[in-house]
Amino acid sequence: MAAQLSGGMTDLYAVIGNPISQSKSPVIHAAFAASLGHDVEYRAIEAPLDGFRSAIEAFRAAGGLGLNVTAPFKLDAFELSTVRSQPVQRAEASNCLRFVNGRVEAENFDGTGLRIDIEDNLATPLAGRRILILGAGGAARGVLAPLLAGNPAALVLANRSITKAVAIAEIFPGVEPCALDNLGRYTGFDVVINATSAGLHGEVMALSASIFADGALAYDLSYGKGLTSFLHTAKSAGVDRLHDGVGMVVEQAAESFAWWRGVRPATRDIIAQLTKPLT
């Protein structure tokens, strides 16, 4: 059921994070609203690292109806919420809130957006495929359930700390944990997803070319950063299907818009608008 709209007034939504200047959510949601003729104002809120709750209270007092939540506040959003979907409960993180009759309802559309982008936009069905996810932080945790729902042949979660990967695998049956330094025992993944931030901080990702199957898809959850260290490594290994997370961001935004407004906007044009060459 869509959240009740404000009737005759501009409806207020926002994205909240720290930092937030890099977010394309205001551009995306403005395009969605224009395409559907909805009277929407969408803001970007940079909350202090210790000021999430007070920022939410101020937003609600201003009439805010819903929020997208980005780093580092997805756990805060989970803790603040009073009604949680099953994906939110499993991930213990939320990337979308709505405020209805005094309730704070929480959803997590990251994994749904990723799966739609991979399967529909990139024409790569997950059923029967072998998937490798690099990293076991909040980004990885948030996408696991929808990827598993795609019925892959295998889903390996590789992380520097095997303890963390094992803990996540206990929550998500079907996930096989692996330490990054033991990744050499695996070969031939059809989809390799980078859910770490290592490449964005100048760290070189040492990955064997053998982890990529012929025709593999290399997918970096970050977007707008060009050829990240991970994508450069994949390219050097002969992978030519290189993609960043712009499609995921747009598709999860469309899921948010539909949850708030009751109608899902088209996404193809805005994905094309935001896509940058991977150079």
Tens digits of residue pLDDT in 127-186: 999 999 999 988 898 899 999 999 999 999 999 989 999 999 999 999 999 999 999 999
pLDDT score recorded for residue 84:
96
Tens digits of residue pLDDT in 83-141: 999 989 988 889 999 999 999 999 999 999 999 999 999 999 999 999 999 999 888 98
pLDDT score recorded for residue 138:
82
Comparing CA positions, the residue from 261, 257, 263, 205 lying closest to residue 236 is 205
Contact 141, 168 (CB under 8 A): yes
Tens digits of residue pLDDT in 2-29: 433 444 579 999 999 999 998 999 999 9
Q: Same CATH fold, 111-243 and 11-108+247-274?
A: yes
Q: Which CATH class is domain 11-108+247-274?
A: alpha beta
Q: What is the dihedral of CA 158, 160, 163, 169, to 10 degrees?
A: -20
Q: Which CATH class is domain 111-243?
A: alpha beta
Query: What's the token pair of residue 252?
Result: 């999860």
Q: What is the pTM of this model?
A: 0.91
pLDDT score recorded for residue 5:
43
Does the pLDDT at position 1 exceed 90? no
Q: Among this protein's residues, is 24 annotated catalytic?
A: no
* Active-site residue, selected from the candidate residues 24, 74, 235, 276: 74
The enclosing H or E element of 158 equals strand 154-159
Contact 76, 53 (CB under 8 A): yes
Domain assignments of the chain as residue spans, ordered by start: 11-108+247-274, 111-243
Does the pLDDT at position 199 exceed 60? no
